Chains A and B, each alone.
Chain A
Amino acid sequence: MPGNLRVQAISGHSGAAPGSGAQRQERVAKLIDTTTCIGCKACEVACLEWNDLPFRETAFDNTYQTMPQTAWNYWNLIKFNEHTAADGSFHWLMRKDQCMHCADPGCLAACPADNAIVQYQNGIVDFQQEYCIGCQYCVTGCPFNIPRFNPATKKMFKCTLCTDRVSQGLEPACIKACPTGCLHFGTKEDMTALAQTRAQQLRQHTAHTNAGVYDPAGVGGTSVIYVLHDIANPEAYGGLPANPRVPWAVRLWKGPLKWLGNVAMIGGLIGVTLHYLRFGPKKVEEHGK
């Protein structure tokens, strides 16, 4: 456990999470104001620098997109989108894409490995690679397409929300590097208030009359929240899902299907035992011997 972070929930664990509820910690959040992002990618570089990751090869696709998606060693990527609005006006939409740190994390629900995914009281969801078994169930559980597999080590990686920095009272590296002030870090409460104020300002004083705050309720809210110019169309920002939820199949798989399966397996064992007690074995009578 890095620093003084307190555990809220852990994956693949039978019984209560050790240490949960021992102390109460403020939920933290990262606020990303897409309306003041200039796509400079300083946050990407800061992420690589702090986490000691190499720069990756870029793939030119005739836009400012440096590479199509995040990677196991590239956790933070500006999604760049050339967007034509309904009124015919042209927009460059830039969104910092990384783990959203859901309050109801689908990755953690899907993970079978004890302790491989930890949710801290402050809202950070972090992968513990030493416990990861490389099954990639988190890939299926995540509604944001975030966990990435390293085929060499067979471990999953994603944004840690700089647990090592946050636990020591520092802001995440990406926040520190942002030159326009579009990135903010603080308590979830403060960041939500700041985001609402900014969205209201946009609605009242700019042409973005549909500006709003993205903090999706389907996953219990997130510890990364966005201010968007048009809250009705998050998909335009490089595929930000309009209503993300933990997939129903994961809920069914980890819930009713598991209980039905357990009952069926134990029932089967009891059934054959009862059969033996009631009817016993089939014996062949050896005639003529």
Chain B
Amino acid sequence: MENSILRYSLVERVMHWIAAVTYCYVLLTGLAFYSPHLYWIAMVLGGAPTSRFWHPWIAVTFFGVLLWMLRTWAADMRITSVDRAWGKQMKRYIENDDEALPPIDRFNLGQKYFFWAMLFAGFVLLVSGTVLWIPEKLPWSLRDVRYIAVLLHVSSALLTIGAFIIHVYMGTAMVRGGFTSIIRGEVSPAWAKMHHRLWYQRVAGK
């Protein structure tokens, strides 16, 4: 693309897609264990015992990528006063009335919420999932920990699913150019100016 700006480096894109693939695997196998009506998903993915074996290992990989993302994007994901001002007008963003919004940096408040929600829920899923992984190792006297773990695991998984639905919708259908940016890494100057003006001014030097 002519005059295009690098939005995501190759490393960032690889990181994103490892997270995407591992999350989708954990999501689908998790849904199979969640409801008898979705148990067929496990059959498609190689059988339920196989799904049960790989679900925790792939989940640990996913959480590892979340930590990698944290290291890479910690500065970009910090919520600033600019974001709070933007957040007050989020309704305009939802209604595609973008002209009226204050300019923002590399990520908008929604993207930042998404990141922190996945990181936080991912941590809760990791801890509760460890209990579900090896419940027999817990002594009988600590069985309350198992009960809390199943509830936390399902609740936080549902939280990530909600966030994931919005993320995929916005990244593919709603924000045109967004999907290309996470595949090829590039956006047009006009795209950068419209969605992330402060970031555009920073990277374009104007």
A residues at B contact (CB < 8 Å) = 12-14, 112-114, 132-137, 139-140, 145, 148-149, 154, 239, 247-250, 252-253, 257-258, 260-262, 264-265, 268-269, 272, 275-276, 279-287
* Nearest CB in chain A: distance from B101 CB, A: 11
In the assembled complex, the Cα of A149 lies from the Cα of B165 at a distance in Å of: 36
Residues on the B chain within 8 Å of A14, using CB: 35-37, 39
Nearest chain B residue, comparing its CB with the CB of A131:
B48
Counting CB contacts under 8 A, is B64 at the interface?
A: no
Contact of B148 among A135, A249, A281 (CB under 8 A): A249
Task: Across the A-B interface, give the 6 residue pairs with the lowest CB-CB distance, nearest first.
Answer: A249-B147, A272-B169, A133-B48, A268-B165, A14-B36, A112-B33
* B14-22, B77-85, B90-98: which lies at the interface: B90-98
Is B150 a contact partner of A282 (Cβ separation < 8 A)? no
Residues on the A chain within 8 Å of B195, using CB: 282, 284
Is B174 a contact partner of A276 (Cβ separation < 8 A)? yes
Counting CB contacts under 8 A, is B155 at the interface?
A: yes
Number of cross-chain contacts by CB at 8 Å: 127
Residues on the B chain within 8 Å of A253, using CB: 150-151, 154
Counting CB contacts under 8 A, is B190 at the interface?
A: yes
Is A264 a contact partner of B158 (Cβ separation < 8 A)? yes
Is A265 a contact partner of B94 (Cβ separation < 8 A)? no
Is A135 a contact partner of B52 (Cβ separation < 8 A)? yes
Nearest chain A residue, comparing its CB with the CB of B139:
A145
Q: Given contacts A134-B49, A287-B190, are A268 and B166 in contact (CB under 8 A)?
A: yes
Is A264 a contact partner of B188 (Cβ separation < 8 A)? no
Counting CB contacts under 8 A, is B102 at the interface?
A: no
Most B C-beta atoms less than 10 A away, residue of A136, A252, A284: A284
Nearest chain A residue, comparing its CB with the CB of B159:
A264
Is B158 a contact partner of A265 (Cβ separation < 8 A)? yes
Is A268 a contact partner of B39 (Cβ separation < 8 A)? no
In the assembled complex, the Cα of A14 lies from the Cα of B188 at a distance in Å of: 50
Is A133 a contact partner of B150 (Cβ separation < 8 A)? no
Nearest chain B residue, comparing its CB with the CB of A69:
B140
Is B36 a contact partner of A281 (Cβ separation < 8 A)? no
Is B147 a contact partner of A134 (Cβ separation < 8 A)? no
